[in-house]
Amino acid sequence: MAGQRGQGGGAKRGRRASHFMDVVLDGYARFTALRLWRDYETLLEAHDRNPATALAEAGHFTEMGRYRGLWLRPWRSLVVEPCGDPSVPLYGRVEAAVREALREERAARLDAGDSALEDTPLYRDYVAQAMGQLLEEASASSGEPG
């Protein structure tokens, strides 16, 4: 039965790789939401604690280039417009807007035949930083010099 050895392993690796990329995308969404949250908190201080102004300014998304409009729509509808509604925590709305924008950008890139979101400098920088941190933690826990 040596001929059967290893059959199906590729599919299992494919599922693991897909799961890994889903986890990385989830981490990127949280990282981006946290970055926007920090920008908001900084701007809140700069704008005399005016949340609507700080949120509007935090959501300029100039770094998103031609996909900026895809980021502006969910930011405005999910974060800026319901600014005074305490029923959903603000950070939850920020994260929801980021996830929606990421879904829309990924679909738009696919439709336009553009490079994948995973190939953008922002995403690659996040992955490199996260992998570096992971390797550093693994090295520290194993007792090996980093």
Q: Where are the domains of the chain?
A: 29-125
pLDDT in tens, 64-105: 999 999 999 999 999 999 887 788 899 999 999 999 999 999
To the nearest whole percent, how much of the chain has pLDDT over 90?
Answer: 63
When pLDDT is cut at 50, 70 and 90, the band that residue 46 belongs to is: very high
Distance of alpha carbon 69 from alpha carbon 108, whole angstroms: 11
Q: Which residues of 75-85 are buried (b: 16+ CB within 10 A; e: fewer)?
A: beebbbeeeee
Q: Are 123 and 28 in contact (CB under 8 A)?
A: yes
pLDDT at 116 over 50: yes
In the prediction, which pLDDT does 20 show? 74
When pLDDT is cut at 50, 70 and 90, the band that residue 123 belongs to is: very high
In the prediction, which pLDDT does 3 show? 47
Q: Are 61 and 36 in contact (CB under 8 A)?
A: no
In residues, how long is the chain? Answer: 146
CB neighbours of residue 139 within 10 Å: 12
For residue 23, CA distances in Å to 31, 55, 67 come to 12, 27, 23
DSSP letter assigned to residue 88: S
Q: Using alpha carbons, select from 33, 34, 52 the residue that is nearest to residue 97.
A: 33
Q: What is the mean pLDDT of residues 45-53?
A: 89
Q: Tell me which of 82 and 12 has the higher pLDDT.
A: 82
